[in-house]
Amino acid sequence: MFRFPLLAATGSIARGEYFSPAKKAIFSSSSVFRVVSAVFTAKSFSSKVSPTQPPQLDRQKIKDALKGSDPDLKDILENSGNWAQQVCKGQSPNYLYIGCCDARVDPTVLMNVNYGDLFIHRNVGNLVCGSDLNVLSAIEFAVTRLHVPHIIVCGHYDCGAVRSSYKQMDHGIIENWIRNIRDVQRTHHVELNPIKDEDEKHRKLVEFNVIEQCLNVLKTGCVQRTRMKSYKEQGLALPRVHALVFDPAAGTLKKLDVNWKGETKEFDYIYNLYPEDGGNSR
């Protein structure tokens, strides 16, 4: 289990204990530290406009947000090794990150990686749907053009999309999307129905949803094809798929322990698009 850096003990951020060298350089700037840490204050999560008062437009806050990063940030990054030269050469990420749109789950802050290591795709509920050309295009591009060796699907507890899937109501246009999570609930109803505690059931469905989306990644033709080719050439099936869940309340990132070969074996005769591989790359 990884500790979420920005919710770690006071002083750890300044020392850079949870960051790669590039991030240590970024967070050594007190001005940048103030900007980032301010995001995680209690006020930023709980402040609401009083229903008895008209909303006030904070023009300065909007102006600050739209003007871009702290002016010192560019200098810090440019002085972090050969960062500028690497950026000019184009992207070469190590991970395709598929996550939820939830504003509390920022992958560039959540993951302990260097600048440019993540190729990011986000949608409501961190879903990988066979009918969604957006996510399928992201996977295809990341795997066949960027040659990422790892694919991460990251969900989170207290997920509104997952909670909505428990409600017997029509959510409008988003219902077409939420139904994919309802299908996960149906697939795992034997495990979920005996759970009486609603919060525990929610957390379990979050985890099942992440696992199912990882399986959907493994079902895609481009991933199967690339893994088969990689196994034949290197003896190692790449890209690897990882299931993660973030807990906003605890500030922890958990890796789910899943035997993907075991999970896919039962239905290989349905989803394996390359039976000549003999299942070696699964």
25 three-state secondary structure:
helix
Residue 199 counted as an annotated binding residue: no
Residue 156 annotated as part of some ligand binding site: yes
Catalytic residue flag (residue 100): yes
Is it the case that residue 57 has pLDDT exceeding 90?
no
- Spatial contact of 61 and 35, defined as CB atoms under 8 Å apart: no
Q: Which CATH number fits domain 91-282: 3.40.1050.10, 3.30.200.20, 3.20.20.120, 2.30.42.10?
A: 3.40.1050.10
Q: What is the mean pLDDT of the chain?
A: 81
Cβ contact 215:264 at 8 Å: yes
Global confidence as pTM: 0.77
CB 29 within 8 A of CB 72: yes
Reduced to 3 states (helix: H, G, I; strand: E, B; else coil), residue 194 is coil
Which residue intervals of 58-141 are DSSP H helices? 59-66, 71-78, 83-88, 107-110, 133-140
Is 214 a catalytic site residue? Answer: no
How much is the average pLDDT of 10-32?
41
| CATH 3.40.1050.10 domain position(s) in the chain | 91-282
Active-site position among 70, 100, 154, 202:
100
Active-site hit among 117, 121, 154, 156 = 156
227 is catalytic: no
Tally of CB atoms within 10 A around 83: 17
Is 159 among the catalytic positions?
yes
Annotated catalytic residue, options 154, 159, 202, 277: 159
End-to-end CA distance of the chain: give it in Å, rounded: 25
The whole-number average pLDDT for the span 73-95 is 73
88 annotated ligand binder: no
Instruction: Sort 216 into a burial class: Cβ within 10 Å, 0-12 / 13-18 / 19+.
Output: buried
Q: How far apart are CA 241 and CA 262, in angstroms?
A: 14
pLDDT value at residue 159:
98
